[in-house]
Structure 1
Amino acid sequence: MQRFKTIDTSITALGSLEVLSQVEVTQLKEAGENGLYELLRRCVLAILNTGSHSDNAKTILEAYPDFRIDIIQQDRGIRLKLFNAPGDAFVDGQMIRSTREMVFTALRDIVYAQSESEKPRIDLNNGPDITDYVFHFLRNAKMMCPGEDPRIVVCWGGHSIGESEYKYTKDVGHELGLRGLDICTGCGPGAMKGPMKGATISHAKQRIRSGRYIGLTEPGIIAAEPPNPIVNELAILPDIEKRLEAFVRLGHGIVIFPGGVGTAEELLYVLGILLHPMNKDIPFPLVLTGPQESEPYFRQLHEFIAKTLGFEAQQKYKIIIDDSELAARELSEGMEHVKEYRKKTNDAFHFNWQLTIDEDYQRPFQPTHENMAKLRLHKDAPVHELAANLRRAFSGIVSGNVKEAGICAIEEHGPFEIHGDKEIMDPFDELLTAFVQQHRMKLPGSDYEPCYRVVT
């Protein structure tokens, strides 16, 4: 096994957990010692691997088997001692400042998630309670900015896109930043980094010194997509469903760039919500965009939506090819509609309370072989329910591709079997085959071994 340069160090809080009572310090230390240590270790190791070229969580964890953390209690707060930490996270022996901030963000979010879930007032099987949980989680992460106009654009897309597609995401981010809009992504590389990079330049041009580069992730995927260094606000939600809800509650519009299975999962998630009868009048700008070479990708995705969810679903988004200025203008104008609607309905600017999200979209889906085989992918299902199960199918494939638990399950039991009506499974299989041919399942140059098998 290849060995990498490592460093032993000791760090104090920065950005989060800087001011703590002695009781809070004790609670944090106890939480780190009582079952949450391994989760903290994995998240911190991912953060220290910012810039890694691997998209395999298992590979990253195996590269640093001796990495460990000691949580030291002291009167003035928490100190972390790191042993065998990745050397690339340091400059002249000092941890990079953004990395240090995110390390303590991980500790903050993991402990908060655990403590909130144990409170008797929280029923995480109940939809309104789940939404309330997401609200309090984001508030604890200080991501609420009451009174500020809607301007958060959620950017979704692949972490292993090609060079021209990556450049285009920067161009769109630049145009969004020129219009004073902030960026929220899954915090990783590729289409999650490009818009932030573009916006940093345009924010500087517009003398915007409070630009927000928000990253939302979850423990199962952070190792495969370590946070990029531009992120200045990070939240690690407990699972993929709460992460997705955080995106649509916190954001005011979404732009989707080329990607793979994870991007398709995100598109199906937001489409399923927008197709809910209770949400038909709520403005939520949704733009799919990429350079000219990405036109076949979006055409295939558009055809897949037509064959599975139908014409109504296609009306929920706009596809804009090779025009970064038009894409940004569409989002900017959409923000004005969001602002006027929320003023008229007295909804908050900082959290989308009025959006109805069914519990099918909120309850965590465990992509086991049994659960994947049980998915109901039938043409006669209500369209927003079909979208929910298609989203779960794609989520399972993401797990089998990049998450440690999914990779291990595939190694032990073979590919997931996904069952459904022929009218659904044929376009599903066609789309996945196209993703494989376009190298959208893994990083370029790596061979793809399917983690799924379609059964009709």
Structure 2
Amino acid sequence: MKSIAVFCGANDGARPAYVDAAREVGVRLGARKLGLIYGGGGTGMMGALADAALAAGASVVGVMPEPLVRGEVAHRGISELRVVATMHERKSAMYDLADGFVILPGGIGTMDELFEVLVWLHLGYHRKPVGLLDVEGFFDRLIDFLDHMEGERFLRASVRELVLVERDVDRLLAGMAAFVPPPLPAFMR
């Protein structure tokens, strides 16, 4: 892996542990000589993540739609800011640039990004690891819901098992580095 896309909130969230986790991910990416691909924001968890990655020597590429850049929420000190037209283009560019995906606490945009990369992995559109950093149990209810979907036969166990879940950054990144993608679905062969 060369670069990891990190999806997270543009706000700080309710607990200091969320921003602390974003900083730790940035530091760990730099320590592992991995680049950061992220949404390009300079505030909240996004800003803390980017600043920590930069300080740790990582290359930091932000991808942001032009209207948000105009709204002055872009981080101006990162290695590269790629400006795109739409949120769809943002996600597509981030997916293309990344070798794996880490999801930190965030809102509906973060959940949209999580489920899209998970669906794409399940369908075989990419073969990259998807990991949740479960900061202070933030994702516990989501994981319970995924298990519920499996129990109700709306989600196969094989899909549920695609999501790596850890509470420790180093264990999550090690699991992602060791990730072996499932066989491609028959329709993708």
Q: 2:33 aligns with which of 149, 170, 180?
A: 180
Amino acid at match of 2:128: F
Q: Provide the residue aligned with 2:128 in structure 1.
A: 284
Q: Provide the residue aligned with 2:64 in structure 1.
A: 217
Unaligned stretches of 5+ in structure 2? 182-187
Checking the alignment, whether the CA contact within 8 Å between 1:155 and 1:191 is kept in structure 2 is: no
How many residue pairs get matched? 174
Question: Does 2:168 align with 1:168?
Answer: no
Q: 1:299 aligns with which of 129, 140, 147?
A: 140
1:295-318 deviation digits (Å, cap 9, x = unpaired): 0x2012223334455233322211
* Distance apart, 1:156 and its partner CA: 0.4
Checking the alignment, whether the CA contact within 8 Å between 1:186 and 1:192 is kept in structure 2 is: yes
For 2:56, what is the secondary structure of its paired residue?
helix
Question: Does 2:88 align with 1:241?
Answer: yes
Checking the alignment, whether the CA contact within 8 Å between 2:118 and 2:130 is kept in structure 1 is: no
Amino acid at match of 1:305: L
For 1:226, what is the secondary structure of its paired residue?
coil
Q: Provide the residue aligned with 1:197 in structure 2.
A: 51
Q: Provide the residue aligned with 2:5 in structure 1.
A: 154
RMSD: 2.4
Amino acid at match of 1:320: E
Checking the alignment, whether the CA contact within 8 Å between 2:3 and 2:100 is kept in structure 1 is: yes
Amino acid at match of 1:325: D
Write the distance in 1 (CA, Å) between the matches of 2:103 and 2:130.
8
1:260-315 deviation digits (Å, cap 9, x = unpaired): 11111111111121121x44xx5311110043x2x0x2012223334455233322
Checking the alignment, whether the CA contact within 8 Å between 1:165 and 1:290 is kept in structure 2 is: no
Higher Cα Rg: structure 1 or 2?
1
1:34-88 deviation digits (Å, cap 9, x = unpaired): xxxxxxxxxxxxxxxxxxxxxxxxxxxxxxxxxxxxxxxxxxxxxxxxxxxxxxx
Task: Give the direction of change, closer, same or farther, for the CA distance of 1:249–1:223 in structure 2 (3 Å limit).
Answer: same
Write the distance in 2 (CA, Å) between the matches of 1:229 and 1:220.
15
Q: 1:329 aligns with which of 169, 174, 177?
A: 174
* Distance apart, 1:222 and its partner CA: 4.1
For 1:275, what is the secondary structure of its paired residue?
helix
Write the distance in 1 (CA, Å) between the matches of 2:50 and 2:44.
10
Task: Give the direction of change, closer, same or farther, for the CA distance of 1:197–1:256 in structure 2 (3 Å limit).
Answer: same
For 1:255, what is the secondary structure of its paired residue?
strand
Task: Give the direction of change, closer, same or farther, for the CA distance of 1:156–1:224 in structure 2 (3 Å limit).
Answer: farther
Write the distance in 1 (CA, Å) between the matches of 2:39 and 2:173.
19
Write the distance in 2 (CA, Å) between the matches of 1:230 and 1:259.
23
**Identical-pair percentage:** 22
1:75-133 deviation digits (Å, cap 9, x = unpaired): xxxxxxxxxxxxxxxxxxxxxxxxxxxxxxxxxxxxxxxxxxxxxxxxxxxxxxxxxxx
Amino acid at match of 1:194: A
Q: Provide the residue aligned with 1:82 in structure 2.
A: none
For 2:10, what is the secondary structure of its paired residue?
coil
* Distance apart, 1:193 and its partner CA: 2.2
* Distance apart, 1:190 and its partner CA: 2.4
Task: Give the direction of change, closer, same or farther, for the CA distance of 1:230–1:329 in structure 2 (3 Å limit).
Answer: farther
Checking the alignment, whether the CA contact within 8 Å between 2:40 and 2:46 is kept in structure 1 is: yes
TM-score (norm 2): 0.80
Write the distance in 2 (CA, Å) between the matches of 1:190 and 1:225.
14
Q: Provide the residue aligned with 1:318 in structure 2.
A: 164
Write the distance in 1 (CA, Å) between the matches of 2:46 and 2:82.
15
For 2:128, what is the secondary structure of its paired residue?
coil
Amino acid at match of 2:53: A
